Amino acid sequence: MSVRIRSAVRADTAIILALIRDLADYEKLLHEVVATQDDLDAALFCASPKVFCLIAENGNGDALGFALYFFSFSTFLGRHGVYLEDLFVQPDARGQGIGKALLSRLAQIALDNQCGRLEWSVLDWNTPAIEFYRSLGAVPMEEWTVNRVTGDALATLANGADE
């Protein structure tokens, strides 16, 4: 199968949202998706975007998957990194090298921008993804725990910053 990896354009916003919803459904988290096309348009295609998206498509231009990423920073390395927020390939297109092609393009973006690393998170139950990532040389950071503050806790923490 012929696969093309390209940067997303504004006309892809509906496709990106559909792929995000497909990913969330796969992860059993569809109920958490509140993003809208307007949200994605504002984030991805503003004057100074902080987040970027790659689309994998077949020869007919059908979207087969996506990778949404942003630049992070490592104080230890003193260099930026690329953080892969989401990677998804449609189930019927898996096993054809699309995920690897998306990750390869991200690795090239990291190198082109003198980044020190490419990193991402994966759900601990997603064994196929974990095995795939390990086959590419990814090393799980098992000693690290992701922390998150959202909603009311985020507002409470922000209000406490003024004290």
Q: Which residues are catalytic?
A: 133
φ and ψ at 162, to 5 degrees?
Answer: -85, -10
Amino acid (1-letter code) at residue 133: Y
Whose tokens are 């892969």? That residue is 84
Rounded CA gap, 2 and 35, in Å? 31
The candidate with the shortest Cα–Cα distance to 16, out of 40, 34, 45, 38, is: 40
**SS3 state at 128:** helix
How far apart (Å, rounded) are the C-alpha atoms in residues 103 and 97? 10
Distance CA 151, CA 11 (A): 31
